Structure 1
Amino acid sequence: MRDPDAPRLPSSPGFWRSPLRGPWFTSVLGLVLLVGITVLFVTGLASYAAYNPDLSPVNDKTPDKGILGFYLFAWPTDPHWLYRLNQGVHVTLGIVLIPVLLAKLWSVVPRLFALPPARSLAHALERISLLLLVGGALFEFVTGVLNVQLEYVFPGSFYPLHFYGAWVFFAAFVVHVLLRLPAALRGARGLREERKQEERKREQREEGGLREEGDTLVSPRPAEPTVSRRGALWFVGGGSLLLFATTVGQNFDGLRRTALLAPHGGGDPGSGPNGFQINKTAAYAGIDAAETGADVWRLVVTGRTGSVRLSRDDVLQLPLHSAALPIACVEGWSTSDQWWRGVRLRDLAALVGYDDDPSDVLVESLQLRGAFRRTALRANQVADPRSLLALYVNGEELSADHGYPARVIVPAAPGVLNTKWVARLTFGDL
C-alpha cells in the first residue's frame, strides 16, 4: 500500500528512495567515464582525420567545420594497422561503457529535478552542463550504436551529426568535470567518509542549516537495500564485461563468431583466398557483371600529362608488387593481414606525369549507389610503396564482392577509402 506521506513530485528529496545513490557510487562511475570518454573522444577525432577531411570535399562529410578542423593532419600510413587499432578501441570501448553510462545517469537522476534550478552562478553552470552532458551522451551513444549495428543508417548525415554532437557533448563534459572533479575525488575515497558526511548533513538539517546540493543524491527516507553499492558496481562491471566479450571478437579472425553484438563484415564470407569479411557486396553496390569483364572494363588514369586508358591486360603488364594489409571498417570490425598483389599507385601516377612527386588522387568506382563512390587519398598515401591498385588477393583474382577487376588498398586507411571496382584515377591537387 502506498505511503500517504510519500512525496509525489520528483523534485521532492524523498521521492527517490534507492539507498544505492550517493556521492561515492556516483563518483566511482564518473571517474571511469572520465577516462573512457576521453579515450573515445580522442579516437573519434583521429578516425575523422583518417577520412582526409581537409584534403578534398569529396571525403568531407562535415560542412563548414571551421575552427573545429584545427587538429586535422595528414593521416599516416605507418604502422599499417593504425586504423584497425584506433577504430577497434573506439567502437569496442563505446559499447563497453554503455552500462557505466546508464548507471551514472540513473545515479544522478535526482539532480535533474532538484529545486531551485540554480542557487549560484557556479550551480547554474553545473546544471546547464549536466543537461547538455546527459543529452549529448545519449545522442552520441545512440547514434554510434545504431551506425555500428545497422551500417550507414545515416547515409550522408551520420558523420556531421556525430562530429558536431561529439564537440557539444565533450564541451559540456569538460565544464562538468572542472566543476565536479574535486567532489568526485573526495566522494571516491570510500564509504566511511561518505557516511561521516551524510551524518554531518543530517545534523545540519535537524539544526535548520542550509541543504547542500550533494543531498539530492542521498535519500532522507531510503528504502531497504537489496544489494550493496559495491555489489551494484560489480553488476555494472559484469554488464560491461559481457558486452566486451560479445563485441571484441570482431577484431580477430579466430574470435569473430563470438561478436554477437557487433557486425563483423556481413554473413559467412566463405572459404578460400577471398574468404574474408566485406563491407558491401557487388549486388548491394549495383555492380553489373557486364561492366567488369576483362574485355570490357577499362581503367582511366588522368594527370599532369593527360589521360591513359588501360585494359586489365594492360594493367597486368605493369610491374606488380605485393603487400600484407588488413581491412579495417569504421563500424569497428577488421580482418587480419591479407596478401594483396597489384600495381603501385605511385607507378600509376608516374604514367601521367608524377614521376618524382606523387600527388593526391581522386578514386572513382563503378558502383551506382552507397556512400564513398568517389574518395580522395593524400599524396603521402599514394607515395607509400604498399599502396596498390590490387588485382589479386591471397594468390587469387579478386572476387566480385572484393572489388574485381581492381580495387585500392592503402595501409592504415579506413576500409571505405580502399575503393572497390575502380574505374578512374585522377591525380593532382584536389
Structure 2
Amino acid sequence: MARSFLPTRPGRGPFAPDFWRSPLRGPRFTSVLGVVLLTGVTLVFVTGLLSYAAYNPGLAPVNDKTPGKGILGFYLFPWPTDPPWLYRLTQGVHVTLGLVLVPVLLAKLWSVVPRLFTLPPARSLTHALERISLLLLVGGALFEFTTGILNIQLDYVFPGSFYPLHFYGAWVFFGAFLAHVALKAPVAFRNLRRMREGTGERPDDLVAPRPGPPTVSRRGALGLVGGGSLLLFATSAGRSFDGPLRATAVLTPHGGPEPGGGPAGFQINKTAAYAGIRAAETTEEAWRLTVTGPAGTVRLSRAGLLGMPLHSAALPIACVEGWSTSDQWWRGVRLRDLAALAGHDDPVDVYVESLQRHGAFRRGALRANQVADPRSLLALYVNGEELTADHGYPARIIVPAAPGVLNTKWVARLTFGDL
C-alpha cells in the first residue's frame, strides 16, 4: 500500500494540505538547496570557530567574553602569526560566505515550510525528535545569520555581548544541522541522483497535492537564488580590498568613515572622537607608556620609545566584521624588546590597556607567541608618517594575523607576565 504523506486530519489554514500550492516545492528543489547549504554552512561554522580561536578566548577574563565554555572549548589553540594574512582570509570567508548563503537559506526555509505545519505534530518518537531538530535548526539559523548581519553593520541591538551569543548560538545551530544532515542527507543525494538519471519525482509531503499554475520553472527559481547570492557577493566582498573595489561594497560598512588620502588613507573602525580620546592627553608632554613586569614599572615618553631600536613590518588589518586592508608599512618598537625591558628574558603574554573610554575594546591581551614574533610592534609610524589620531597616535599595537580588535590603539599600559 502506498504511504500517504497527508495529515491524519484535514486541518485549517496552513495546516490544510491545499494551503501550500506552489508547484516548485518538492524533494529535488529542496535537495539542491540542501547540498549547497551542507557545504556552505560547514565552512561558515569552521571559519567561525577559527575566528573565535583567533580572539584568544583562553586569555580569560581579558579577551574571553564567553563564560563556562566547558567542552565547547575543546578545539581552542594558540593562534599563529603566520601567514600574516591568515585572519584576513578566514574571517573574510566567514563573513562573505555567510552573506552569500542568505538567499539559499531563505529559499530552503521556504521550500520546507509546509513541514512545520504537518499534523499530527509527532507520529512517533523518531518523528518527534526530527521535528525538534528542525525547530532548533530553523531557529538557530535565523538567530546566527541575523546576529552576524547586525554585527557586520555595527548595529548591536541584541542584548549582551555578541561573542557569547554568537558562539553558543553557533553550537546549537550546528548541532541541529548535523542531526538534520544525518536524517536527510541520504534522501537528498538519492533525489539528486534521480535528477541526473531523469527519473520521475517520488511522492513527498512537500509536493502540493493540488498545485497551482507555475509562474517560474524550478530551474529558473534556482537561478534566481543563485543570482541573489552573486549579487550579495558582488556588493559585499569588496570591503576586503583597498582601492576602487572597496566602493563596490555598498551593502556593508567599509570599516568606519572614509579614510581620505595620504599615508594614513586606509580604513579604520572607530575614530579617536568615538573612542573618547582627548587631544590633550596624547601630547608629547602628557602621554607616557607604562610598562610593567618583574623588573618593576617603567614609564616611557614617545621620545623615549624613539630612542629604542625601531623595526618595520608590512602587515594588514582585518576586523571581525569582515573588512580588511592591504599591507601597510608599520614602524615601531618590538613587543619582545619591551618584554625584555620589563624583565622577561623570554616573551610572555601581555595585557594591553588603552586610553579609549568608549566601546568594548579598551583592554586586550596577546599570547607569548604573538609577543615573540619580530613583526609584532608597538607602532609609532605607518607608511613613513606618524600615526594619526584615528590610527592610534601616540602608539598602537600591530600583530601579524591577529584580529583588528587586538591591534589596540592609543596604548597607555603594557603589563607583561601571567594573565
Tell me if TM exceeds 0.5: yes
In structure 2, distance between residues paired with 1:145 and 1:247 = 12
- CA shift for structure 1 position 194: 8.4
In structure 1, distance between residues paired with 2:155 and 2:200 = 50
Which runs of 5 or more residues in structure 2 are unaligned? 1-9
- CA shift for structure 1 position 183: 0.6
Per the alignment, residue 174 of structure 2 pairs with 170
Structure 2 residue aligned with 1:72, among 62, 69, 76? 76
Closer/same/farther in 2, CA of residues 244 and 153 from structure 1, 3 Å limit: same
**1:103-118, aligned counterparts within 5 Å?**
103-118=107-122
1:298-317 CA-to-partner distances (Å, cap 9, x unmatched) read 00000011110101100000
Closer/same/farther in 2, CA of residues 155 and 134 from structure 1, 3 Å limit: closer
Closer/same/farther in 2, CA of residues 373 and 36 from structure 1, 3 Å limit: same
C-alpha contact (below 8 Å) 1:147/1:153 kept by paired residues: no
Q: Does 1:185 align with 2:174?
A: no
Structure 2 residue aligned with 1:28, among 26, 32, 52? 32
Structure 1 residue aligned with 2:281, among 287, 291, 312? 291
- CA shift for structure 1 position 124: 1.6
- CA shift for structure 1 position 12: 1.8
Secondary structure of the 1:26 match is: helix
Secondary structure of the 1:353 match is: coil
Secondary structure of the 1:109 match is: helix
In structure 2, distance between residues paired with 1:256 and 1:216 = 46
Secondary structure of the 1:100 match is: helix
Closer/same/farther in 2, CA of residues 151 and 293 from structure 1, 3 Å limit: farther
In structure 2, distance between residues paired with 1:403 and 1:429 = 26
1:5-27 CA-to-partner distances (Å, cap 9, x unmatched) read x9842122221000000000000
Which runs of 5 or more residues in structure 1 are unaligned? 1-5, 202-214
- CA shift for structure 1 position 45: 0.5
C-alpha contact (below 8 Å) 1:14/1:220 kept by paired residues: yes
1:341-367 CA-to-partner distances (Å, cap 9, x unmatched) read 000000000001112x11000000001
Per the alignment, residue 383 of structure 1 pairs with 372
The letter for the 1-side match of 2:262 is: G
Q: Percent identity?
A: 79
Structure 2 residue aligned with 1:319, among 309, 314, 318? 309
- CA shift for structure 1 position 269: 0.5
In structure 2, distance between residues paired with 1:415 and 1:154 = 22
In structure 1, distance between residues paired with 2:281 and 2:35 = 56
Per the alignment, residue 270 of structure 2 pairs with 280
C-alpha contact (below 8 Å) 1:360/1:427 kept by paired residues: yes
**1:75-114, aligned counterparts within 5 Å?**
75-114=79-118
Tell me the TM-score normalized by structure 2.
0.95
In structure 1, distance between residues paired with 2:351 and 2:196 = 63
The letter for the 2-side match of 1:159 is: Y
In structure 1, distance between residues paired with 2:196 and 2:366 = 58
The letter for the 1-side match of 2:300 is: L
Q: CA RMSD in A?
A: 1.5
- CA shift for structure 1 position 372: 1.2
Closer/same/farther in 2, CA of residues 73 and 217 from structure 1, 3 Å limit: same
The letter for the 2-side match of 1:260 is: V
In structure 2, distance between residues paired with 1:263 and 1:194 = 45
- CA shift for structure 1 position 191: 4.2
**1:184-333, aligned counterparts within 5 Å?**
184-191=188-195, 196-198=200-202, 201=203, 215-254=204-243, 255-333=245-323
Q: Does 1:369 align with 2:334?
A: no
Structure 1 residue aligned with 2:335, among 345, 368, 374? 345
C-alpha contact (below 8 Å) 2:11/2:119 kept by paired residues: no
Structure 1 segments, 4+ long, off by >4 Å, are 151-156, 190-195
- CA shift for structure 1 position 267: 2.5
1:167-226 CA-to-partner distances (Å, cap 9, x unmatched) read 00000000000011111111222448786344xx4xxxxxxxxxxxxx320001000111
In structure 1, distance between residues paired with 2:181 and 2:199 = 24
Closer/same/farther in 2, CA of residues 403 and 244 from structure 1, 3 Å limit: same
